[in-house]
Structure 1
């Protein structure tokens, strides 16, 4: 018999394979009103021959007033008068007395029934498709036992379905199919799994309603397919996608390891631990020695669905030594290992190591090495504790893939960390001492490297004590990052020290630095040429005049705080950055009272977000003024100003130099001016001798008189007047003679017959050091003498 399905409106369709179907519309008087094309073709009787005539004439051997019963067999009369054996259906049409006659040849109907029976038999014996036939009460009538086999249940031949009982079947949505005839789309439904701790098993459920001959609902046929494999594949795809977009975003080894653990929980595993070689954590390559149970690992990151179990190895702890077994060798050779609880218990045994590495409810373990460039950087260990299914080969392939991705990311972070450490070490080794104390000022410097994945930069600061108690200070910011920037910074700082010893004015010093940077750029490769450059600010403080002179090469202005706590930035004319060339540098001078502060810094200290440097400098000045008024020592003030930079991930490094002006003794300086007259020499000697006696430096009287005599004599003879003499007494004694000449003094060794040429030689022998410097007009020759124990 053919199977029909229908809805509540009474419309029907054949579900068998009916290739030749006779269809005729019969009115309430039994007259044929419509005749299908298939009927005309099959019987050889066109519509104009049949329509309008009694329907009983269609059948051979039927009574004049009777039509075949619904579902009965009959003979349809063809055009030649012969009979064609058919199986008929008489279907009433809702709302009218008309009926629809459907007839199919008997051989076609039997073939359709055979195909349907074969389809049912095929479905019932399929191993991965569950079939359940239920009656109108949703009770199980027939079914195969594939679903039970999917769950691992015993199949004893009993008719026990997966959707157990009418209530469970109705809850699965079969009641709606039975009542409304709606056929839902495939839907994955969880089913209880009584065989183990796994909470559910997934099936895809599809249902259709069956009807009897009268079109009434007779039950539901349900098809169930195992969706667990598809669900697990979807989960693995989700984990793979998360790993691709999450792992490797950081250049920090610990952060990268934690990202790996976060990706795998909870979609892939219940517990995850990342262990890395101890050498990797300091930026070095791991050992290449194989075959030992001591992997030299340290736990770096963990993650669990419900936190990390107490007693298991935690982050920061050293991984214990394991027995030297083939499993360990497999990991060292870059292969992923899967093990169950029983195997691990036998391999490790019962003891502290087992309690440190194996969770109490651990069921299945997969371990993948972090293998990159032929080196095992560490391992990823994943546990399934509450899940029913163990790790399989598909899981191992996925874990191997994620481990390979993670290994490259960790190796990149390790190599970056090594370069970063090297650059920081180089940078800090090139910087001066953090604190400098001179008779003129106290200075404290701070350097903070960039953080948050940025590379080390080339910021620096410097304090240069000069003769006559003067002090030069500098801060600079080399363009670019990395070792190249640190090396360039070292070369510039060396140049600043060398030029500072020449006692050049700040603008002249920057001019020489500009020429040096231009040469460095010319020597650099074409790819690095654009990155060679720097900004710089130079300050020169003279404690005798109390004036500080600044010159800037594209650098932020200095901040000066007066003794009363008022702060302002010094408007230094902004020259071009070093390396640009072709433009002059200009200076600006301010007078500084004792206890004033000077702040020199790089732009990394300006943390404004609006891009307004003037506003950022004003905010910094206010902050420095607050620290000055609070009486903070320089060291604490530096720490406070850089604390925020240290806390937040700065994109640029920072250098800060904070100096406090110290007062000289009121009588520390003595000055005289003499005309260019030979008699001046004796007057100068006498004035100097009297001052030394006043200062209690009689032991230096002979040396100073001789130095003054030689220098003043040279000035009278070669330079003209006026001639200045100045003595400065602090921890050292400085003797200075100034004249209007710009001639460079030179030290030479006089021959035995020479009458002159021995003056500077005597000065060099009597002093600890000597030199000369040039002003806007003329020069000054100075000599430095030790005053003895202080």
Structure 2
């Protein structure tokens, strides 16, 4: 017999105050008899040792056998018979005890009825815990054999004590006890450290078809001397709590993963990514066609004939070899549950999905796929936000055996509502972005103008609608190159960009120097261009333009000189025909609207065939590299150009990896040309009215050389008026120049800064008709000021 304390807490001969103690073996034979037992029942030890205990404990018409199934309750109050024949009412506590041979014996504690003290209370408490409490309690011996359990606990109802008592716990509940739990049990036995509230999944004997989640706590049982008696395992089924927490976790996950972008398709993909596999085995999102275009359907239910387009799909691994509808494909017909969902905007639950003839008629492709995958449960949720229907989300279970329940449907509807709000935000952004891009497209050059000064290649990708470029032909065969950026997105940025571009074209037509042009542009942004003009702070478009950047370059193919100025913009990069790449020292003027002009210029002579690269800062600055690295890649490609300028442009874009379609980038490459010497003729004339005749003769001879006799008469008239006007107001020599480009350009330069003024002369006036005549004879004309005077020019179309 083991010398461990029995569960009642007494050793042999020490339990008088608590009751009479005896021990029976696994056959019901008394093997120990205490003096308290002799005092209570009157039998001396020599009369009972070796006899069956039923002889002593039987009441009238009863049989109490510690080996019977009643033992598992461990508490009883039968009548026992005294040696004299008197029937005694006693309380009985029975505890399993492991003998030295390893057999299960039973310690019996008899307490006379009416005795006060702990045992009666303990018996009542123990009886309540083991028979009424929903808490699962299992008492295990050191070999993890089941010694006692609470019969009312979930998962073990229906088990018979005589079938499981003394058996290893893993044999009793193989679906619950696995290697991990068994290691945990032995660790508690070995270390004595309890395990509190650990979650464990398993399939209990009472419900082997469904997985349950338990909260398990383990405690080592010891006697007063520290001897290990076994383990107490306390568990409770937390499936409902676990499901509620999983639902909250799913919604929290959705709040962080859905709506990370303002793209409808991406948002739909994020929805199915959250739903699979945590909620369903297959998740599908179908969106109304007009929503994908950024349009808003009419509020309320939609027609059952509405066009739905597949926007996202996801399944667990191996659930599908193919899909019924590919992403982007239209579905014009769908089953009744889908149509009803669109009609009343209420979610639908089909716990047990059956593919009947109605499915085959309205959606045969989906029906066939459901058959093949074994989908058995379905939820359909409308995606609605701000009163409008966006589409449908459908969820299927294939591998998961349990069907969807009503609480899962409520959770899914909440998930759909959150996702629908993100989808609608993306739709509204798509609508505004589309409108902004249409506006931007209408405000940008529809085609680059014809000119002979430079060859041009362009790469322009803009989602913000605030980047722009321009190639502007100027007088004297020159050309202006412009690249700019307006901060911000949407319609306001597009409108500000359009306003700045129009202003630059207007100022460029006045032949302003680059620094003067930027200064006037800054005045426009700040509202200081005219008296009484509204300030930028009260004008939305001007306020949007504050902080805009711009680089402006003017190239002259005759002198091969380039003049540059910039306002808060990256300096251009210039590559010579020999592959030498340099960044010119252009003064870094402030961004427009910052109120810190003036702006400086840089003028340099560049070789014919050189390449100028004007770009926005986004070309060389990406999220994973600094501007110097991007500038180094740009210089490398420019130093090794491809024969075709557009190929070089594309190579630069490829080199700036990882650019994405969402990057706003403008890259303008201009390869310089030079006019041949025989395309330009110039003369310096003294300030004398008599030289007008010489100017006309020189012009006539030059036109004959070029084979342009058809223009001789009109050109002589133009030269006469321009030279006469110059001699009248200038004090020094007059310079005349003819340029044969895409047009015939006639220029007269003098040292006077007086600007000519076109006016309508009266019939009686003797003068005032000269510039009017120039305007009538030429295609266009104008004045540009130089450092030492002005140049009046006029252009005629070539024959």
In the superposition, the TM-score normalised over structure 1's length comes to 0.77
1:249 alignment partner in structure 2: 260
1:729 alignment partner in structure 2: 740
1:69 Cα deviation after fit = 2.3
Alpha-carbon separation, structure 2, partners of 1:208 and 1:462: 80
2:621 alignment partner in structure 1: 607
Q: Is the 8 A contact 2:139 2:148 kept in 1?
A: yes
Q: Secondary structure at the match of 1:404?
A: helix
1:751 alignment partner in structure 2: 762
1:138 Cα deviation after fit = 4.6
Q: Secondary structure at the match of 1:641?
A: helix
Alpha-carbon separation, structure 1, partners of 2:436 and 2:121: 83
Q: Deviations over 1:74-133 (max 9, x none)?
A: 99xxxxxxxxx99999xxxxxxxxxxxx9988524699548736864785467x666789
Alpha-carbon separation, structure 1, partners of 2:208 and 2:426: 40
2:460 to 442, 447, 452: 447
1:653 Cα deviation after fit = 2.3
2:788 alignment partner in structure 1: 777
State how 1:583-662 maps to structure 2 within 5 Å: 583-607=597-621, 617=631, 619-627=633-641, 630-631=642-643, 633-643=644-654, 647-649=658-660, 653-662=664-673
Q: Deviations over 1:493-543 (max 9, x none)?
A: 000101111111111111211111111881434998486232221111122
State how 1:104-119 maps to structure 2 within 5 Å: 106-108=113-115, 113=120, 116=123
Q: Is the 8 A contact 2:633 2:655 kept in 1?
A: no
Give the 3 Å change call, closer, same or farther, for CA 519–333 of structure 1 in structure 2.
farther
State how 1:72-151 maps to structure 2 within 5 Å: 72-73=39-40, 106-108=113-115, 113=120, 116=123, 120=127, 123-124=130-131, 138=145, 144=151
2:679 alignment partner in structure 1: 668
State how 1:420-459 maps to structure 2 within 5 Å: 420-433=433-446, 435-449=448-462, 456-459=464-467
Q: Deviations over 1:386-407 (max 9, x none)?
A: 2232111221121112111111
> 1:418 and 2:413 equivalent?
no
1:229 alignment partner in structure 2: 240
Where structure 2 has 5 or more consecutive residues not aligned to the other structure, the ranges are 20-32, 43-88, 94-108, 529-533
Alpha-carbon separation, structure 2, partners of 1:23 and 1:142: 24
Q: Deviations over 1:596-650 (max 9, x none)?
A: 11111121112267997567545533332222xx32x222222222335685348
1:322 alignment partner in structure 2: 334
1:714 Cα deviation after fit = 2.1
Q: Secondary structure at the match of 2:331?
A: coil
Alpha-carbon separation, structure 2, partners of 1:408 and 1:23: 70
Give the 3 Å change call, closer, same or farther, for CA 581–700 of structure 1 in structure 2.
same
1:685 Cα deviation after fit = 0.9
1:377 Cα deviation after fit = 1.4
Q: Secondary structure at the match of 1:107?
A: coil
2:5 alignment partner in structure 1: 10
Give the 3 Å change call, closer, same or farther, for CA 361–573 of structure 1 in structure 2.
same
Q: Is the 8 A contact 1:198 1:387 kept in 2?
A: no
1:754 Cα deviation after fit = 2.7
Q: Which moved more, 1:671-680 or 1:761-770?
A: 761-770
Q: Is the 8 A contact 2:210 2:402 kept in 1?
A: no
Q: Is the 8 A contact 1:568 1:618 kept in 2?
A: no
Q: Which moved more, 1:569-578 or 1:340-349?
A: 340-349
Q: Secondary structure at the match of 1:635?
A: helix
> 1:742 and 2:753 equivalent?
yes
1:766 Cα deviation after fit = 2.0
1:483 alignment partner in structure 2: 491
1:28 alignment partner in structure 2: none
State how 1:254-653 maps to structure 2 within 5 Å: 254-288=265-299, 290=301, 292-307=303-318, 309-313=320-324, 314-323=326-335, 328-342=339-353, 345=356, 347-349=358-360, 351-356=364-369, 360-433=373-446, 435-449=448-462, 456-519=464-527, 522-525=535-538, 529=543, 532-581=546-595, 583-607=597-621, 617=631, 619-627=633-641, 630-631=642-643, 633-643=644-654, 647-649=658-660, 653=664
1:292 Cα deviation after fit = 3.5
1:662 Cα deviation after fit = 1.8
Q: Is the 8 A contact 1:283 1:415 kept in 2?
A: yes
Q: Secondary structure at the match of 1:388?
A: coil
Q: Is the 8 A contact 2:781 2:792 kept in 1?
A: yes
Alpha-carbon separation, structure 2, partners of 1:178 and 1:745: 104
In the superposition, the TM-score normalised over structure 2's length comes to 0.77
Q: Deviations over 1:236-288 (max 9, x none)?
A: 33323322332222222222222221222222221111222222222222354
Q: Is the 8 A contact 2:634 2:655 kept in 1?
A: no
State how 1:683-762 maps to structure 2 within 5 Å: 683-762=694-773
Give the 3 Å change call, closer, same or farther, for CA 308–284 of structure 1 in structure 2.
farther
Alpha-carbon separation, structure 2, partners of 1:762 and 1:238: 82
Q: Deviations over 1:7-66 (max 9, x none)?
A: 975386569xxxx99699xxxxxxxxxxxxxxxxxxxxxxxxxxxxxxxxxxxxxxxxx9
1:571 Cα deviation after fit = 0.6
2:688 alignment partner in structure 1: 677
Where structure 1 has 5 or more consecutive residues not aligned to the other structure, the ranges are 1-5, 25-65, 76-84, 90-101, 451-455
Q: Deviations over 1:366-388 (max 9, x none)?
A: 12222211122122211122223
Q: Deviations over 1:343-385 (max 9, x none)?
A: 5536524733422566631121112222211122122211122
Q: Secondary structure at the match of 2:729?
A: helix
Give the 3 Å change call, closer, same or farther, for CA 730–267 of structure 1 in structure 2.
closer
Alpha-carbon separation, structure 1, partners of 2:514 and 2:218: 91
Alpha-carbon separation, structure 2, partners of 1:582 and 1:240: 51
Q: Is the 8 A contact 2:573 2:612 kept in 1?
A: yes
Give the 3 Å change call, closer, same or farther, for CA 457–524 of structure 1 in structure 2.
farther
Q: Is the 8 A contact 2:496 2:545 kept in 1?
A: no
Q: Is the 8 A contact 1:434 1:446 kept in 2?
A: no
Alpha-carbon separation, structure 2, partners of 1:739 and 1:578: 34
Q: Is the 8 A contact 2:146 2:165 kept in 1?
A: no
Q: Secondary structure at the match of 2:687?
A: coil
Q: Secondary structure at the match of 1:667?
A: helix
Alpha-carbon separation, structure 1, partners of 2:144 and 2:599: 99
Alpha-carbon separation, structure 2, partners of 1:211 and 1:465: 99
Q: Is the 8 A contact 1:312 1:357 kept in 2?
A: no
Q: Is the 8 A contact 1:475 1:538 kept in 2?
A: yes
Q: Secondary structure at the match of 1:512?
A: helix
Give the 3 Å change call, closer, same or farther, for CA 315–70 of structure 1 in structure 2.
farther
Give the 3 Å change call, closer, same or farther, for CA 535–145 of structure 1 in structure 2.
closer
Alpha-carbon separation, structure 2, partners of 1:645 and 1:187: 52
Q: Is the 8 A contact 1:560 1:567 kept in 2?
A: yes
1:477 Cα deviation after fit = 1.8
